[in-house]
């Protein structure tokens, strides 16, 4: 099978594509890949590190307000379609899959115009502008959340697969997570993460909460600040507590996040779709603080989906304080039956076979074409 992958801008679009590539290579070792991404997107550095051939196109997203820049964006889109057609004709893929971000627009659209089977995968509970546009042209729309079918009227085929990132994390070894943190297996861990770059509001709440942590003597807190916030946050906590609380580790970044997640008892995090796929695949209870600075406020919709299922508690950023966050953590960590019920609800939402389901659909489309 020959596969073109496209997705970019953020890790939430790139990592699902890479998870599909890994699964596809596992099931069909002869598969050849080409990844088409943006010139300036994160994918331009991440994808080559995975050993996948990469080609870049020049494309930008539409501004939601009237702007002369949108005219330039239309021109770049048309040029991107032309460039994508050339790349696709040269590579001759059996199927093209887009995992979101505006770079998918010209790539997947070009595939549809060339008669190449195509799939888009929507990670969020509220679909993005690019995927709504492409849904009218692709052969299959794959969903991360159930009940989103009405968001894609007129689509030929809609399937619920979950997020392929779940497959990668589901296979993680929790003993390696405990070992990486220097903790005894079975230690209750509360992992607090603000995303790969960190989150100012969560950092401020964590600093405010730090003096309270010793109230949960049996729990170990692991706080991942993000590189840019690490030093000021560490110093602020030390200034507030006199030193770090005994049960707290402050880290700038975690390179083996799947293993650390596998050892986690409760996670405090934003509500990006890929991260939610990861924690539900492992059945981790969560306290979610949706970012208000995202398109269509989709993170709150993502978070509310887990909350409605009983898998998470949601704290909006405007309501976030150190004492409020600690109170929620304490209530969950001191109530074993609630932890179990949240974990069960979380696991029910998980789709550890997500990547396989997408690869299965890719293979079906290629066979149908033949």
Residue 196 has a pLDDT of 62
- Do 81 and 220 fall into the same domain? no
Residue 34 has a pLDDT of 98
d(CA 130, CA 98): 10
Is 299 annotated in a binding site? The answer is yes
Residue 115 has a pLDDT of 96
Is 203 annotated in a binding site? The answer is no
Is 305 annotated in a binding site? The answer is no
- Do 143 and 18 fall into the same domain? yes
Closest among 43, 278, 51 to 164, alpha carbons compared = 278
Strand pairing partners for 300? none
pLDDT digit string, tens, across residues 301-328: 999 999 999 999 999 999 999 999 999 9
Residue 40 has a pLDDT of 81
- Do 237 and 140 fall into the same domain? no
- Do 146 and 176 fall into the same domain? no
Residue 148 has a pLDDT of 86
Residue 146 has a pLDDT of 85
- Do 137 and 6 fall into the same domain? yes
Domain count, the chain: 2
CATH number at residue 25: 3.40.50.2000
- Cα 269 vs. chain centroid, distance in angstroms? 12
Tokens of 335: 């109530």
Residue 226 has a pLDDT of 85
Low-confidence ranges of the chain (pLDDT < 50): none
d(CA 57, CA 118): 19
Closest among 136, 141, 36 to 88, alpha carbons compared = 36
Is 196 annotated in a binding site? The answer is yes
Residue 39 has a pLDDT of 84
- Do 205 and 269 fall into the same domain? yes
Residue 154 has a pLDDT of 81
- Do 342 and 357 fall into the same domain? no
- Do 188 and 159 fall into the same domain? no
Tokens of 107: 């790539």
Count Cβ atoms below 10 Å from residue 81 Cβ, excluding itself: 19
Strand pairing partners for 220? 189
SS3 per-residue string spanning the chain: CEEEEECCCCHHHHHHHHHHHHHHHHHCCCCEEEEEEECCCCHHHHHHHCCCCEEEECCCCCCCCCCCHHHHHHHHHHHHHHHHHHHHHHHCCCEEEECCCCCHHHHHHHHHHCCCCEEEEECCCCCCHHHHHHCCCCCEEEECCCCCHHHCCCCCCEEECCCCHHHHHHCCCHHHHHHHHCCCCCCCEEEEECCCCCCHHHHHHHHHHHHHHHHCCCCEEEEECCHHHHHHHHHHHHHHHCCCCCCEEEECCCCCHHHHHHCCCEEEECCCHHHHHHHHHHCCCEEECCCCCCHHHHHHHHHHHHHHHCCEEECCHHHCCHHHHHHHHHHHHCCHHHHHHHHHHHHHHCCCCHHHHHHHHHHHHHHHHC
- Do 148 and 188 fall into the same domain? no
- Do 210 and 306 fall into the same domain? yes
Is 249 annotated in a binding site? The answer is no
Closest among 208, 289, 287, 219 to 248, alpha carbons compared = 219
Q: Which domain holds residue 13?
A: 2-163+352-369
Residue 63 has a pLDDT of 55
Is 124 annotated in a binding site? The answer is yes
- Do 281 and 306 fall into the same domain? yes
Residue 266 has a pLDDT of 98
């Amino acid at each position: 099978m020959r596969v073109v992958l496209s997705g970019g801008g953020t890790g939430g679009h790139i990592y699902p594509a890479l998870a599909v590539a890994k699964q596809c290579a596992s099931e069909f070792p002869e598969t050849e890949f080409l990844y088409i991404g943006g010139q300036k997107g994160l994918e331009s550095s991440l994808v080559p590190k995975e050993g996948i051939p990469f080609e870049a196109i020049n494309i930008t997203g539409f501004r939601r307000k009237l702007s002369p820049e949108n005219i330039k964006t239309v021109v770049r889109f048309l040029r991107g379609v032309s460039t994508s057609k050339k790349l696709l004709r040269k590579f001759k893929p059996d199927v093209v899959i887009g995992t979101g971000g505006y770079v998918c627009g010209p790539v997947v659209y070009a595939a549809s115009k060339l008669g190449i089977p195509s799939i888009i995968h929507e990670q969020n509970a509220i679909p993005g502008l690019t995927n709504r546009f492409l849904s009218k042209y692709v052969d299959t729309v794959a969903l991360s959340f159930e009940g989103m079918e009405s968001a894609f009227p007129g689509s030929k085929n809609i399937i619920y697969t979950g997020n392929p990132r779940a497959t990668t994390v589901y296979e993680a070894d929790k003993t390696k997570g405990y070992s990486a943190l220097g903790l005894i297996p079975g230690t209750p861990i509360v992992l607090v993460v603000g995303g790969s770059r960190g989150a100012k509001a969560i950092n401020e709440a964590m600093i405010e909460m730090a003096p309270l942590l010793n109230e949960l003597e049996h729990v170990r807190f692991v706080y991942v600040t993000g590189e840019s916030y690490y030093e000021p946050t560490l110093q602020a906590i030390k200034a507030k507590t006199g030193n770090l609380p005994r049960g707290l580790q402050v880290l700038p970044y975690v390179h083996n996040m799947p293993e650390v997640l596998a050892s986690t008892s409760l996670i405090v995090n934003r509500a990006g779709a890929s991260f939610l796929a990861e924690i539900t695949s492992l059945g981790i209870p969560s306290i979610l603080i949706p970012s208000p600075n995202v398109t269509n406020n989709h993170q709150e919709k993502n978070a509310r989906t887990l909350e409605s299922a009983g898998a998470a508690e949601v704290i909006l950023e405007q309501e976030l304080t150190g004492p409020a966050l600690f109170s929620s953590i304490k209530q969950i960590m001191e109530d074993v039956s609630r932890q179990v019920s949240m974990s069960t609800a979380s696991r029910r939402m998980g789709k550890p076979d997500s990547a396989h389901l997408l690869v299965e659909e890719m293979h079906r489309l290629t066979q149908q074409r033949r």
